[in-house]
């Protein structure tokens, strides 16, 4: 009698566990949207902070621009760079600089 009760409780537990797992989503679309939005906000914040810091501490190169038209800065060591969408400095060779369109 005890074994039958144990088996019945065990199967009921497996059945309930299976039902609860069937109703949950492992990669929730809301969680995914929150994660991507947070990442976008972080990248934009980093870009704005890096651009502001470069505008204050470094010199702007007026006649040239980056590969996609970005503002080019010159640091204290005479290296040319622009700030990408993630807020990182991308250093350029002088041959990679393009004339700014008028």
Query: Which of 19-23, 28-32, 84-88 is predicted with the least confidence, judged by mean pLDDT?
Result: 19-23
- pLDDT tens for residues 44-81? 999 999 999 999 999 999 999 999 999 999 999 999 99
Distance of alpha carbon 22 from alpha carbon 101, whole angstroms: 58
Taking CA atoms, 41 is separated from 12, 29, 36, in Å, by 46, 18, 9
Give the tokens for residue 91: 């250093």
Residue 33 confidence (pLDDT)? 87
Q: How confident is the model at residue 24 (pLDDT cuts 50, 70, 90)?
A: low
pLDDT at position 17 is 65
Distance CA(60)–CA(78), nearest Å, equals: 11
Token readout for 1 is 């009698």
Q: How far is CA 68 from the centre of its chain?
A: 20
Q: Could you tell me the pTM of the whole model?
A: 0.67
Task: Tell me how far apart the alpha carbons of residues 91 and 1 are, in angstroms, rounded to a whole number.
Answer: 78
């Amino acid at each position: 009698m005890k074994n039958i009760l144990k088996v019945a409780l065990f199967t009921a537990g497996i059945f309930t566990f299976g039902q609860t797992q069937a109703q949950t989503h492992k990669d929730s679309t809301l969680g995914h949207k929150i994660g991507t939005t947070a990442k976008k906000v972080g990248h934009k914040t980093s870009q704005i902070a890096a651009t502001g810091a470069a505008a204050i501490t470094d010199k702007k190169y007026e006649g040239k621009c980056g590969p996609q038209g970005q503002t080019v800065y010159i640091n204290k060591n005479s290296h040319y760079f622009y700030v990408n969408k993630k807020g990182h400095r991308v250093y350029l060779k002088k041959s990679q600089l393009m004339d700014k369109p008028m």
